[in-house]
Amino acid sequence: MTLTKNIEEVVLFDVHEIRKDFPILSREVNDKPLIYFDNGATTQKPRQVIDAIVKYYTMQNANIHRGVHRMSQDATDEYENARITVQKHIGAKHENEIIFTRGTTDSINLVATAFGKKYVNVGDEIIVSEMEHHSNILPWQQLCEEKNAVLKVIPITDSGELRMDEYKKLLSEKTKLIAITHVSNTLGTVNPVKEMIAIAHSKSIPVLVDGAQSIPHLKVDVQDLDADFYCFSGHKVYAPTGVGILYGKEEWLKKLPNYQVGGGTIKTVSFNKSEYAESPLRFEAGTPNIEGAIGLAVALDYINALGLKNIAAYEDELLEYATEKLSALDNLQIIGTAKEKASVISFVVEGIHPLDIGILLDAQGVAIRTGHHCTQPIMAHYQIQGTIRASFSFYNTKEEIDIFANAIVKSIKRINQK
C-alpha cells in the first residue's frame, strides 16, 4: 500500500499499488481479468488480513479467556485488542459496548430478541423502512408476531429516499424502537440517520442503525450519531466472514436481558442459580470467531491507513463516473437516484431479465449481483423483479467501469439478436 501526496496536500492513494494488496484481484474469470463489482455482497481481503489469519493458525491458535498458558493469554490479548480497535474505529465510549457477533444479521437478532423480550408488548410498535435488507425486517416482524405488536414502515420516494414527513408521523408513544439502515445495499441511498435519531430521541425512542453498508464507505462515529445500537459485518469491510459487531450504548446493554447463554457468559454456575458476567462477555456465548476478530482489527487498520476520507472521495468519483457512463446507455434505467449515495448502482434494462445480463457479464469476467438483493419490498415499490447491481470499492478503477459499460452494451446486443 502506498500513499502519495498531490499539490493540494490531499493524500491520494495509488489504486494500482493498492490492488497489489489484494491477491484475488489478479486472477482471471472465464479467461478474462476479474472485474469485481460485487463489493456490496462481500469485499475482497487484503494480504495483511489473510496473513494475520495464517499467522494466527500457524503460531497462536488457542482458546481465549480460559487458559493460563501463554498461547491462550496471547490469543486473549489479540482478541481483546481487536475489540479496542473496533471501539476506536466507530468512536464508542467504552470497549464493553463492543460485542463480537457473527455479523449484522446476528447482531440485529440479538437486539430484537433481548430488547423484544423485555420492552415490547401487545400493541407496541417497531418502525423499519421500505428500503431495509431482509435481515433488518424479519427479526422485527417475527418479534411483532410473537408479541402481537405492530411493524410500521417508513415509505420511500421514487428516487429512493426516505419520506421524512411520513417518518415523523409514524412516531408515537407506542413506538418502542426504530431500526433503520444507514446505507441501502440496493439503492445506495445514505440515510440522514443522525437527524432521524435526534427526532426519535426527542420522544425517548431508541434507534438501531444497520451499518452493514456504511462501515466500508463512511467515517462512522456512534457517539456523534448518538445511535443506541449500531451493527455491521466484518466481511463487508475487508475482514473475514463469520464475524461482526453489535455496538450498544452501555446503558442499554446493562438493561438488556440475556440472549444466548453458555460458556463465557457467566460469573458462577450452580444448579440453583447462575450469575452472569457483564457486557460484552454476557452476550458472547461459546467460543467466538477469534481469528475473525483479529482479522477484523487488521482490516480496520488497513482502511484507516488509506484514510476514510480518501476512500470516500475516490469511491464518490467512481460512482459519478459510472453513473454518467450508464446513464448514457439506451433503455437502461438507474434505480435509486438519491442525492446522497454510496458507491452502489442498481439498474434495469427494458425488456431484459437482470439474470440474463448477469450471466453474460460473468462470461466477460465482470462479477455483479442480480436479483432482489434481499430487499423484496424495494422491488415491490418499483414493481420490478430485480435489478443488476454494481457496487464499487476503493480497489476498483475507471478502466474497469469502461470495460463494464462496454460489456453491458455487448450483452444487450447479444440478447436482442436472439
Say which of 29, 164, 329, 374 is annotated catalytic. 374
Q: Return d(Cα 393, Cα 255) in angstroms, integer.
A: 38
For 170, the enclosing helix (H) or strand (E) is: helix 164-170
Reply yes or no on whether 144 is catalytic.
Answer: no
Residue spans of beta strands (DSSP E) within 168-214: 175-181, 207-210
| Residue 222 in grid coordinates | 456512534
- CA 240 to chain centroid, in Å, comes to 13
Q: Between 104 and 289, name the residue whose CB sits nearer to ligand PLP.
A: 104
- 199 residue type, one letter: I
Under a CB-based contact definition with an 8 Å cutoff, are residues 388 and 370 in contact? yes
DSSP-assigned states of every residue in 142-166? HHHHHHT-EEEEE-B-TTS-B-HHH
Place of cell 426516505: 162
Backbone angles phi, psi at 219, to 5 degrees: -80, 120
The bridge status of strand 366-367 relative to strand 35-36 is parallel
The terminus-to-terminus CA distance of the chain in angstroms comes to 46
DSSP-assigned states of every residue in 363-391? HTTEE-EEE-TT-HHHHHHHT-S-EEEEE
Which residues sit at the interface with ligand PLP, rule CB under 6 A? 103-105, 133, 135-136, 181, 185, 210, 212-213, 233
Ramachandran area for residue 145 (φ above 0: left; ψ -120 to 50: alpha; else beta):
alpha
Backbone angles phi, psi at 189, to 5 degrees: -55, 130
Residues recognised as catalytic: 374
